[in-house]
Amino acid sequence: MTPKARRWLFAIGMAGLVACYLWAFHGLPGFGNYPGPYGPEILSRAIPETNATGVVSAINFDYRGFDTVGEEFILFAAAAGMSVVLRRLRGEREQEQDHSPADEVMHRNVAPTSSALRVAALILVGPTALIGWWLATHAQTNPSGGFQGGVILASAFMLVYLSGESIAFRRLSPVHLLDVAEAMGAGGFAAVGLAAVVQGLPFLYNYLPLGQSPGAVSSSGTIALISFLVGIEVAAAFMLIVGELLEQTLLRREGSS
């Protein structure tokens, strides 16, 4: 199909979509007039029931915990799928130096990482890891949680790579350790849920002591525990994903140079 024909077909489809969209939104309550019964109900129950002042976390890790198990395993499957898709093809070997493919194509000399970048990146590693850890462990009180914390925790390790220490990065994130961490995070979440079933309670029931007062770090029972496990899983999954992609820059087809 020619690009022009594609555009025409797209215009026809868009016209239909716009018409359906306008029809769908006609008669909806306007912006700011949310009428749903579910949100206000949870807002009035969440704190007395779970002792978590972070209601979004209470929904994610308690009320809708079952969904979050699935969500976590989507990420788990994506990390596993990537290592299958990016398996080493026949005729690929690892390159000795770590030049990026773009640099090779252009046959240019790669400038070494500047000292300023290296120092700045390495200085940021500690604070970034601390923020990630704090977010992963404070889901029950503040706007945070395992997903956000895990990503930031993983980016602390990316900073090591950015500083040009790709060998140090590999030593810091050995794949088999990451695999174990990821499996422990994902399996731990399921295990917390199943432990409730063993006690004769519904799956993912919040059976741990809820703590004395809402807003304390030790409050909210399984919400805090699950958030922490999710943090580990997400950090490991993202390090695996980024590690896989970075490894591709070190691969080179045999015979290409």
Partner 1 sequence: MTVFPFLVVAWIVAVGLYGLITSRDLIHQIVCLIVVQSSTYVLLLGVGYVTGGVAPYFYDIGRRALAVDPVVQALALTDVVVEAAVTALLLSLAVQAHKRFGTLDPHDLAEFKG
Q: Would you count residue 3 as binding partner 1 (CB under 8 A)?
A: yes
Long-range contacts of the stretch 116-121 (C-beta < 8 A, 24+) = 117/162, 117/163, 117/164, 118/163, 118/164, 118/165, 121/159, 121/160, 121/162, 121/163
Count of beta carbons in the 10 Å neighbourhood of residue 180 = 12
**Candidate segments 78-86, 106-114, 115-123, 184-192, binder of partner 1 by CB under 8 A:** 78-86
Give the shortest CB-222-to-partner 1 separation in angstroms: 16
Q: Would you count residue 95 as binding partner 1 (CB under 8 A)?
A: no
Could you tell me how many residues of this chain bind partner 1 (CB under 8 A)?
Answer: 61
Residue recorded with tokens 């395993």: 73
Helix (H, G, I), strand (E, B) or coil at 99: coil
**Cα–Cα distance for residue pair 143/202, rounded to 1 Å:** 27
Contacting residue, 51, 54, 155, 243, with partner 1 by CB under 8 A: 54
Q: Would you count residue 165 as binding partner 1 (CB under 8 A)?
A: no
Q: Would you count residue 10 as binding partner 1 (CB under 8 A)?
A: yes
Q: Which is nearer to partner 1, 163 or 185 (by Cβ)?
A: 185
Q: Would you count residue 45 as binding partner 1 (CB under 8 A)?
A: no
Q: Are 176 and 108 in contact (CB under 8 A)?
A: no
Q: Which residues bind partner 1 (CB under 8 A)?
A: 3, 6-7, 10, 14, 17-18, 21, 25, 28, 30-34, 36, 38-40, 42-43, 46-47, 53-56, 58-60, 64, 67-68, 71-72, 74-75, 77-79, 81-82, 85-86, 89, 92, 141-143, 145, 147, 151, 214-215, 234, 238, 241, 244-245, 248, 253
